[in-house]
Structure 1
Amino acid sequence: MARSYNPPTVWKPFGAFSMVKIHEGGQLVHLKGQVSLDREGRLVGKGDMRAQVRQTLENIKAVLAAIGGEMADIVSLTQYATDIEQFMAAGDIRKEFFFEPYPVTTTVQIMRLYHPDLQIEITAIAEIPRNRFRMPED
C-alpha cells in the first residue's frame, strides 16, 4: 500500500490530490490512458465534460478491478483535458471516486485528443497490495 504526504513546506492541496505518494511494497501497475468509451468502444457524453469524466473514471475503476485493484490504490494520475475550466468544474465527480489520501495529479490542457469528440484522457499508476493483486490470465 502507498501512503500520502503533504509537506508543510509547500502549499496545501486544494482539491482531490496529494503532494507525494510513497510506495510501500505492493504490485506497481501502469494503466493506459482511458477515455470516455463504453465497453463496445462507443463515445459516452459527446460535448459533455462531466459525462466524459465519469465514464473515464469508471473505465479506470474497471481496469483496476480486473486485477484486484481499487481506486484507493492509485498513486498518480495524469489528466489531459481539452477545456481546463470544464474539467475543473467536474471536481465533484472526481471526489466520488477518490478519498483521502488522494493520489498525486498532473492536469494539462491540450488542443485535442485522437478523436475530436473526446474531451478528457486520464492515465494512472497504481500500487495494488500483493494480497489482492491478481495476475491476468492470457
Structure 2
Amino acid sequence: MPTHPSVPGYLGESVFDTFAFAQTVVVGDTVHLSGMTPLRGEVDALELVCPGDLRGQTEFELDVLKRSLEEVGARLADVVSVTVYTTDIDALTEHADLFRAYFGSAAPAATWVQVSRLLHPGQLIEITAIAVRR
C-alpha cells in the first residue's frame, strides 16, 4: 500500500498528488522508496535545500531516507540497495564518507549514475532505495 510518510521538513502532500507518486511503497516486508530530493515544502513553494552544496544535499537526503524508513518500521541497516543519481560523480566520490557514516558496516548494494539534470535545476543528487524489514 502506498504511503506518504510524515517526515517533518520534507515534501508536502501536494507534491505527491501533483506528480502522482508515493514516497514509500511497502509490499510485505519490502520497502520501496522513491528518490529523496533536496527539496522541501509544497508544490507551489518548493525550497531547494543547500543550494550549490553537494555534501549538504546528500546529508539532507540520507536523513530523509532514515526518517522515511523509520515511519514504516524499518532501519538503515535494512536497506539492501540504493541508486544514487548525481550531476557530478567526481564531486560525489569526495563525500562517500557520508554513506559510510549512515550505513556503517551494513552497506547496501549501490549504483551511482551521473545525469545531466535532475527535477530542480539546482538539485545535485537524488537517492532511491529498497529495504527489507527484518
Q: Shorter-normalised TM-score: what interval?
A: 0.7 to 0.9
Moved more, 30-39 or 82-91: 30-39
Give the number of equivalent residue pairs: 104
- The structure, 1 or 2, with the larger RCO (C-alpha pairs under 8 Å, 6+ apart) is 1
User: Out of 28, 31, 40, which is 1:29 matched to?
Assistant: 31
Q: TM-score, normalised by structure 2?
A: 0.73
User: Out of 84, 95, 98, which is 2:89 matched to?
Assistant: 84
| Runs of 4 or more consecutive aligned structure 1 residues displaced over 6 Å after TM superposition | none
Report SS of the residue matched to 2:38: coil
RMSD: 1.4
C-alpha distance after superposition, 1:68-126 (max 9, x if no partner): 11111100000000000111111111111011131000001000101110000000000
Distance (whole Å) between structure 2 residues aligned to residue 99 and residue 48 of structure 1 = 23
Q: TM-score, normalised by structure 1?
A: 0.71
Distance (whole Å) between structure 1 residues aligned to residue 98 and residue 66 of structure 2 = 14
Task: Return the offset for 1:39.
Answer: 5.7
Q: Unaligned stretches of 5+ in structure 1?
A: 1-25, 130-138
Q: Does 1:71 align with 2:85?
A: no
Distance (whole Å) between structure 2 residues aligned to residue 65 and residue 39 of structure 1 = 20
Bigger helix fraction: 2
- Counterpart residue identity of residue 118, structure 1: Q
- Counterpart residue identity of residue 28, structure 1: T
- Counterpart residue identity of residue 115, structure 1: H
Tell me what 1:54 maps to. Answer: 59
Distance (whole Å) between structure 2 residues aligned to residue 39 and residue 62 of structure 1 = 16
Q: Unaligned stretches of 5+ in structure 2?
A: 1-27
Moved more, 40-49 or 79-88: 40-49
